[in-house]
Amino acid sequence: MPVYLVLEMQVQEVTPFWDPSPKGYRSRHTVPFGEPLRVPAPFGCELDTSGFFVRAADGNAEGARGA
């Protein structure tokens, strides 16, 4: 079963899409960067999304939540 991860860099969110149907994907779950993301089967793992922040020239994560 395919699982697609969409990284939305401007809003700093990641969404996996799974369970395809003829009309699109039936399942998805969005989390903000920095929160762990549970990736569904066939992977069945947790993804650390803290590395998805865009780094500014000064080395700090731009828009980091809680920073």
pTM given for the model? 0.76
Distance CA 4, CA 18 (A): 7
Contacts of 67 (CB under 8 A, 6+ apart): 60, 61
- pLDDT reading at 4 higher than 90: yes
Question: How many alpha carbons fall within 13 Å on the CB side of residue 27?
Answer: 10
Residue 54 has a pLDDT of 75
Residue in 3, 51, 54, 49 with CA at minimum distance from that of residue 26 = 3
pLDDT tens-digit profile of 7-42? 999 999 999 999 999 999 999 999 999 999 999 988
Which is more confidently placed, 59 or 15?
15
